[in-house]
Structure 1
């Protein structure tokens, strides 16, 4: 291998140019992500970097002409492709199995049935696609359109998940003035749920770690109003939980008027700015790991200078929760997606409808 690398026939110029492209993509991604991590474009840039890096690495291995290295890496690549294909081909089965677990452990709301509904929809579309040639023309048009929409949806879902994952790793220094803990529904109207407890404990963990580093203790803002079926505000219940677990009551503030995540952040920002008299501040917000990226998008929209720290969520709950977050983020940017769907309609549906109408008339 060393002799090959030292050989004058080794295409160092091509490999070096590829490496330069990889470094350029890395630099652009890091510059955008570190400057503002609360953007979906960071997922796009990361995926471009990912593809360019592996293309460069694969090309470098191929031009090395090292048969053992090519055989080993080629085999690993084929195994990875087969595994991805199998996961994709059996996605409906995994979704339905997950739906069964969620059905047993969670309340039977539409929000908790997304994996079930998605799995059923995939199976129906697959059956229609397999029998495409036997379908009436109008249904063929719908099936073609549905498949294109699914492909587009898969693409933006992949980008959303990428953005969500890389956001988890954004560095936040332990020198914050405020920790905003985002609320969630109470059990039986007055009890902190395990999901909400995880958020509170994540905020407490940050609070104690900052103190251990010898820095001033931050204020914890518990944010959440009182729902129609709740006996007290989520903020009050969260503070009671935190105080019972050792947080000084004087280190807490309540924001008990909000009813949505965006209001959590908007009203908490108002409390901070009032206390700081419009001056600069350092703050983070805390929620579950699947939720913090969307919360970050809302924080950016509200002009809140804060990024998120995520609390652990049970693995079985993640597919359903991520799907819910994906739908919510997609609706936040519905205009751009409607434009794409209009393009799909113009390219696929409209011509097929014209042909079907022509055949019907003649």
Structure 2
């Protein structure tokens, strides 16, 4: 390899290792920071770029051509999925509607798929029926907003996946299982059963390995269409599945994830254990936001997630993303305002460059006269 090329390859690997170190420190300190996703993606893509430069620098066609073909194939698959995203979303919506209730929460992929299909027609109507200035503004601004949403959604998916990489030690004092609604008023749903079973497996494995049985807190209040609190129904289910009656506690007042964590923490604080070790169990798509909520109430606990049916995941992940956006709505509102001002500037710059030139000339003359 030539000297300059070798320098850039080494620089690329140095930058990659810096991104990895920054991500590692942040992730170790707090796994619920959203910026962990940014640092990881910087490491991830710089790693592949550095690897590509290293492979190209070998001048070995036996390596370059197969890797290049694999890279092109991956790009093709990504492009194909992107081009068919509306169809995939509508297909998922159809599956969900056959298996779940037709609620707003279960219709997000339907609305998003319809929006993607209609977006080109909406842009065409805007450009055809509005004056040029407003047409440009109402095209540029929404595009910036969409890119902003996609960026943070991708970042959220990254941190959600990273949060799943956790193997807790079997030394826990408490296992909190979060409720998820009952069917027929008093029966555990399949989705809720997955959460409980995940907690039971951890309970039994720890009991087998260490002989120390953690207390299981089943957290969930009573809904308007339920004949008993979720926490009590979950407790009965767990006892019927080989959890000791003295190890199963029911928290029956909570109605939200925040209250799940808050009221469960009160039970834990009443225990004689000085520094209790705690984990919580929920579905995998919910673990990240639940961990943020746990921190907000001062509960030191890490979550483990139970599996969720594949068809249910897209809507569930989108709901969680919307909930996190709403939690930081002030920040995002400020960014939307800044994007609008930036869009306004871009439109003026593109349509009235002579105005901008005059403003710059005026500013230059003002500075010269100081």
| TM-score of the pair, normalised by structure 2 | 0.89
CA contact (8 A) 1:142 1:349 kept: no
The yes-or-no answer on 1:193 pairing with 2:189 is yes
Q: Do the aligned partners of 2:126 and 2:138 also contact (CA within 8 Å) in 1?
A: no
Structure 2 residue aligned with 1:22: 16
Partner of 1:170: 166
Higher relative contact order (CA 8 A, sep 6+): 1
* Structure 2: runs of 5+ lacking an equivalent: 352-370
Compute the displacement of 1:172 (Å): 1.7
Q: Is the 8 A contact 1:128 1:143 kept in 2?
A: no
Structure 2: distance between partners of 1:349 and 1:195: 47
Task: Give, in whole Å, the separation in 1 of the partners of 2:341 and 2:4.
Answer: 50
Structure 1 residue 229 corresponds to structure 2 residue 225:
yes
Alignment of 1:1-362 (within 5 A): 13-129=7-123, 133-137=127-131, 138-276=134-272, 279-349=274-344
Residue deviations 1:85-113 (CA, integer Å, cap 9, x gap)? 22112111100000000001001110010
In 2, the alpha carbon distance for the partners of 1:166 and 1:187 equals 32
Residue 359 of structure 1 corresponds to which residue in structure 2? none
- Structure 2 CA distance for partners of 1:349 and 1:105, relative to 1, 3 Å: farther
Distance 1:110 1:214, change over 3 A: same
Q: Distance in 1 between matches of 2:251 and 2:344?
A: 49
Q: In 1, Cα distance between the equivalents of 2:120 and 2:174?
A: 50
- The unaligned stretches of length 5 or more in structure 1 are 1-6, 357-362
- What does the per-residue CA deviation read over 1:122-162, in whole Å, with 9 as the maximum and x for residues that have no partner? 11113334666534234553333222211111100000000
Residues 198-207 or 10-19, more deviating: 10-19
1:293-320 deviations in whole A, cap 9, x for unaligned?
1101111111111010000100010011
Root mean square deviation, CA, Å: 2.3
Q: Give the whole-Å Cα distance in 1 for the aligned partners of 2:269 and 2:330.
A: 32
Pair 1:288–1:68, CA change in 2 (3 A): same
Question: How many pairs are equivalent?
Answer: 349
Please list every run of at least 4 consecutive aligned residues from structure 1 whose deviation after the TM superposition is greater than 4 angstroms. 7-14, 130-133, 349-356
| Contact 1:99-1:113 at 8 Å conserved across structures | yes
Describe the SS at the equivalent of 1:336: helix
Does structure 2 conserve the Cα–Cα contact (< 8 Å) formed by 1:141 and 1:353?
A: no
